[in-house]
Amino acid sequence: MENFLTANSLNARARHVFPYQKFDSKKDIFWLKMQNKILKKLSPQRYSIRTRLIWLFLILFIFIFSVAGYFLNWQIRSALDDSLGKNLEAIAATIAIQIDSYFLKQIQPGDEGTRTNRNLRNQILRSLEISGVNRVSIFDKNNNSIVDSDSLVRIGQIDFHLITNQNEVEKVFQGFSASSTLFTGIDGNLYKTGYAPIKLGEAVIAGLAVDGSAEMLQAVTVIKNNMLWLGVVVMFAAVILISLFASRITTPLKKLENAANEISEGNLLSEIQISGKDEIGFLAGTMEQMRKSIIERDKRQQAMLAGVAHEIRNPLGGIELFSGLLESEVQGDELKNYASKISNEVGNLKKIIQGFLDYARPSPAEPVCCEIYPIFWEAVSLLKNDMDEVKIEFHPTNEKVQLLVDPQHLKQIFLNLIQNSIQAMSRNGTIFVKAEKVDEHTIISFADTGMGIPPELADEIFEPFFTTREKGTGLGLAVVKNLVEENGGKIKYIYSGEHGAHFLIEFLNRLKI
């Protein structure tokens, strides 16, 4: 069972099943587990250090990989773009040198059929074929076409593409080469234009434009896609490596957390075994020293408590003896009554001292195979004179529920719980008990119809010397908890509103039937 049974879920379920319905431990525990899971989902999410480390490294990796990928993509694209621009400028300059500027100056609009135009156009077509570019055109400073490899373009027609690259055109007529930015053609592919001046003497009479395909830039897209897939693969590998790295940190921390929980629950027997010279190892060593210190302190307190109880019990024996003699010797009812009261109070003190001794010196468990039913009724018979109108409902009455525990410890557990119930019910009420095997555990449900215990005190009732009664010692439930844990079990109090107290005791089934 997960952490035995949590207080919130047990409390909620107990209001429905206690005490006027018959106990059904298996059903109760099923619903308690379900409610516990719901409470966990509704509670604020608690992320472990391991999860946070994984997310931290993963986000850092994604950020670095994205920035590096973007920068690399930009670098490659810029380098290829510059290289293409320079190549197109060089091609444009080479073709421009071969153009006869004298004949070029003679061409006018409407000269499409002249020999001069045909010769110039054949020249640029040969250049286009040799260089592998997509288009070659010659234009004047007014953006009008003079000669174009595209047969649909007429002489004198305005080339609107030149208007969008006016800065480059101006550089050409200043005598410099230039290249445009990338643009998308009508076929959806990327292109770039290289420009060069055509000179007659020192004067620039026209410009030559060469359109080249930017197919090489498609490789950037391929590289980018490959990098994305590489990033996914590396990310999964990083998650695995980060998980392994985080586990090396969080596994010792988890052990420390479990050790701290064990110490907080009073289990001081488990040694903290975490080696290392780092901060976690230092913390583990400190916690181990703390655990040993608590054990030594408890031993000293128990020894002191046992010594005080022993020293008090000796004179009490003398007081009890002399009060009995006094009661038998004195004359008169009033004096005899006083002596009887002394004997009664001495008896109460002896019970208190015995409680101190039971808590201070618990006997080690000697587990044997025993039945719960007869041990419970043996405890009831010892308290028969104090029960008056108290009723007992024990289930099942005929089934044998066997357990591997110390029978004397189990009887003492029942004695203390029954005594608490008798006092809480003022000797008038009902005690409900059910013993049942659930999975690998034996569950004993114990409840009464008394006043119950407020929920804010649920975590304190098992502490020694804590009591809500004026004359109580606060050791009854502390002794019960010690005896249950001595036999490898756990006990839990369930708040059930105004319906009394309800305890669940769980023992591991170590008995094979």
Task: Kindly state whether residue 251 falls inside one of the protein's structural domains.
Answer: no
Residues 295 and 162 in one domain: no
* Percent of the chain predicted with pLDDT > 70: 82
- 468: DSSP letter: S
Task: Kindly state whether residue 214 falls inside one of the protein's structural domains.
Answer: yes
Confidence of residue 473 (pLDDT cuts 50, 70, 90): low
88-92, 217-221, 326-330 — which is least confidently predicted? 217-221
Residues 372 and 322 in one domain: no
Residues 6+ apart with CB under 8 A from 180: 85, 165, 168, 192, 193, 194, 195
Q: Could you tell me the maximum CA-CA distance found in the chain, to the nearest angstrom?
A: 162
Which residues constitute the domain of residue 501?
368-508
Chain centre to alpha carbon of residue 107? 81
Task: Kindly state whether residue 235 falls inside one of the protein's structural domains.
Answer: no
Cα(303)–Cα(309) distance, rounded to whole angstroms? Answer: 10
Tens of pLDDT, residues 392-434 = 998 876 678 888 899 989 998 999 899 888 888 887 889 999 9
Residues 303 and 327 in one domain: yes
Q: What is the CATH number of the domain that holds 147?
A: 3.30.450.20
355: number of CA atoms within 13 Å, CB side? Answer: 20
Residues 418 and 450 in one domain: yes
Residues 352 and 279 in one domain: yes
Task: Kindly state whether residue 247 falls inside one of the protein's structural domains.
Answer: no
Residues 6+ apart with CB under 8 A from 218: 190
Q: What is the mean pLDDT of residues 486-513?
A: 80
Q: What is the CATH number of the domain that holds 389?
A: 3.30.565.10
Cα(513)–Cα(509) distance, rounded to whole angstroms? Answer: 10
More confident residue, 345 or 45: 345
Strands (E), 165-315: 178-179, 183-184, 190-200, 203-213
Residues 344 and 418 in one domain: no
- Among 325, 340, 361, the domain boundary falls at 361
Residues 6+ apart with CB under 8 A from 48: 250
Q: What is the CATH number of the domain that holds 270?
A: 1.10.287.130
Residues 156 and 92 in one domain: yes
Residue with tokens 């009033």: 334
Task: Kindly state whether residue 105 falls inside one of the protein's structural domains.
Answer: yes
Checking if the pLDDT of 505 tops 90, the result is: yes
Helix axes 218-264, 49-98, angle to 10 degrees: 170
Residue with tokens 């003398």: 318
Count the residues in the chain: 513
How many structural domains comprise the chain?
3
Q: What was the pLDDT predicted at 23?
A: 45
Cα(8)–Cα(4) distance, rounded to whole angstroms? Answer: 12
Task: Kindly state whether residue 165 falls inside one of the protein's structural domains.
Answer: yes
Question: Residue 327 phi/psi, 5° resolution?
Answer: -65, -35
Residues 384 and 503 in one domain: yes
Residues 215 and 315 in one domain: no
Strands (E), 150-290: 178-179, 183-184, 190-200, 203-213
* Pairing label, strands 430-438, 391-395: parallel
Residues 293 and 434 in one domain: no
Task: Kindly state whether residue 295 falls inside one of the protein's structural domains.
Answer: yes
Evaluate whether 494 touches 14 at the Cβ level (below 8 Å): yes
- Among 219, 236, 253, the domain boundary falls at 219
Residues 347 and 399 in one domain: no
First to last CA, the chain: 21
- Among 337, 361, 385, the domain boundary falls at 361
Q: What was the pLDDT predicted at 216?
A: 62
Residues 304 and 400 in one domain: no
Task: Kindly state whether residue 23 falls inside one of the protein's structural domains.
Answer: no
Checking if the pLDDT of 311 tops 80, the result is: no
